[in-house]
Amino acid sequence: MFQPKNLSNYIQWLLLSVLATGAIATEAIAHKVEISGDVGGTIHLEPNDNPQAGKATLAWIALTRKGGQTIPLQQCNCQLAVYAEPRQKNAAPLLQPSLKAVTAEKYQGIPGAEIIFPKPGAYQVELKGTPKAGANFKPFQLNFDVTVAATAR
């Protein structure tokens, strides 16, 4: 049985180990996951989920149905929109990048787009989708919070 002092020491050791290796800390930050109905989406922004203002960023979203089946762009009427945060009710999107099918990691044909965030700060990337004929998933809306860094000089 752990005593409070021992538990505290154990937690501190575990935290230091994780931070020192970066293994879990990096993975926790790397991809952002959202769920809407029976669809889940994982967003990734190049490079290394650290987009910079004024630079092209390839953003891709791995869409999966409950159970893990991938939803390719060809099965989805998807629209991507980028909003400044804090997002005002009924605000128009700053950007509406065109989606294209991309292959990334183990995913093929998933929705992706090149985004150029105008300035550093907080944004929300929204992906809405409905199934095309023959596809089997519920309409969805996924909202991902993104922080954009200043351009490195």
Q: Tell me what pLDDT residue 32 has.
A: 79
Tokens of 15: 């935290």
Q: Tell me what pLDDT residue 37 has.
A: 93
Q: Which residues of the chain have pLDDT under 50?
A: 1-29
Tokens of 54: 């004024």
Distance CA 64, CA 18 (A): 29
DSSP H stretches of helix in the chain: 4-21, 23-30
Distance CA 7, CA 4 (A): 5
Q: Tell me what pLDDT residue 31 has.
A: 65
Q: Tell me what pLDDT residue 108 has.
A: 93
Q: Tell me what pLDDT residue 22 has.
A: 35
CB atoms within 10 A of CB 2: 10
Peptide bond into 86 cis (omega under 30): yes
Decide: helix, strand or coil at residue 124. Answer: strand
Asked if 75 and 134 touch (Cβ cutoff 8 Å), the reply is: yes
**The architecture CATH gives domain 31-148:** Sandwich (2.60)
Residue among 141, 145, 98, 142 at smallest CA distance from 124: 145
Q: Tell me what pLDDT residue 141 has.
A: 97
Q: Tell me what pLDDT residue 47 has.
A: 85
The residue ranges of every structural domain in the chain are 1-30, 31-148
